[in-house]
């Protein structure tokens, strides 16, 4: 049974609606900046090692499209139909086939050398059970020796003073990110405030369940994976206690190895 949860009335289907899909792409800036996107695509192409890749939560194709352009056969799974519709304005179904569904249960046809889940998206699953099921679904799609890659931020609880339930992640003239925490349930809601001219302002909220690296490793082991590598970024920088995020590569045993 799929466990469906929301935080503060925010379900993933409601969050990733048509308005969110139409404003998601920021070509050349933010997560679409060449220095952010380029290293991710290059590393994923190396990890695919000539095989097929599957992206969980493919979205509007931020990573899948340039990865396919490098010659990697890419498919996707995506919960939000508006995000799929936005993807289809850029590339066709024959080039990047996408199944509409949940990344914890939806099964794409065939097997893959690589499954990947980038930009903190595993935290969109709002319970530990769902997150474990995501690892298990990745394992179902992979051939022996296949890899599952997760890009995820490190919880910032050290920045949270006692009795204060929120942190400011980013503060610019045109944008403020405010994260509110429920440390009992490991839940956080990200409040994205975008400011235009004069008094113009827009709020976008997204719910998450944060995961500690050690907890993520245990989820992987429950699904049959071993941690192959962990770096602070896509360039392979050393992961330390001060790293704000990590790229973790998990691998299934080769055929005949348990």
- List the chain pLDDT tens, one digit each, 258 residues: 345 455 666 666 667 778 878 877 788 888 889 999 999 999 999 999 999 999 999 999 999 999 999 999 999 999 999 999 999 999 999 999 999 999 999 999 999 999 999 999 999 999 999 999 999 999 999 999 999 999 999 988 888 878 878 888 888 888 898 888 888 899 998 888 889 888 888 888 888 999 999 999 999 999 999 999 999 999 999 999 999 999 999 999 997 555
What pTM was computed for the model? 0.89
| pLDDT score, position 6 | 59
Of 176, 123, 85, the residue nearest 5 (C-alpha): 123
| Residue 156: partners with Cβ closer than 8 Å, 6 or more residues away | 167, 169, 179, 244
**Residue range 12-154+212-251 in CATH 3.30.710.10:** no
Q: What span, in angstroms and rounded, lies between the C-alpha atoms of 83 and 65?
A: 14
Q: Which two tokens stand for residue 128?
A: 């530990």
| pLDDT score, position 127 | 95
Q: Which two tokens stand for residue 6?
A: 């929301």
Q: Which residue carries 């045109």 as its tokens?
A: 174
Q: What span, in angstroms and rounded, lies between the C-alpha atoms of 210 and 244?
A: 13
Residue boundaries of the structural domains of the chain: 12-154+212-251, 158-204
């Amino acid at each position: 049974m799929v466990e469906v949860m929301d935080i503060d009335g925010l379900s993933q289907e409601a969050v990733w609606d048509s308005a969110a899909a139409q404003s998601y792409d920021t070509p050349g800036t933010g997560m679409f900046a060449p220095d952010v996107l380029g290293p991710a695509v290059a590393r994923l192409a190396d990890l695919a090692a000539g095989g097929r890749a599957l992206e969980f939560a493919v979205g509007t194709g931020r990573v899948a499209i340039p990865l396919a352009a490098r010659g990697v056969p890419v498919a996707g799974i995506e919960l939000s139909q508006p995000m799929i519709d936005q993807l289809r304005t850029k590339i066709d179904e024959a080039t990047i086939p996408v199944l509409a569904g949940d990344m914890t249960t939806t099964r794409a046809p065939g097997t893959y050398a690589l499954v990947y889940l980038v930009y903190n998206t595993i935290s969109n699953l709002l319970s530990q059970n769902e997150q474990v099921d995501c690892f298990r679904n990745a394992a179902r799609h992979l051939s022996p020796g296949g890899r599952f890659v997760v890009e995820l931020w490190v919880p910032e609880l050290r920045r949270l003073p006692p009795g204060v339930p929120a942190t400011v992640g980013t503060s610019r003239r045109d944008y403020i990110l405010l994260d509110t925490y429920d440390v009992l349930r490991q839940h956080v809601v990200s409040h994205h405030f975008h400011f235009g001219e004069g008094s113009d302002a827009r709020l976008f909220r997204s719910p998450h369940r944060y995961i500690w690296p050690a907890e993520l490793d245990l989820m992987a082991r429950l699904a049959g994976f071993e941690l192959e590598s962990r770096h602070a970024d896509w360039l392979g920088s050393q992961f330390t206690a001060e790293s704000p995020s990590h790229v973790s590569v998990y691998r299934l045993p080769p055929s005949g190895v348990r």
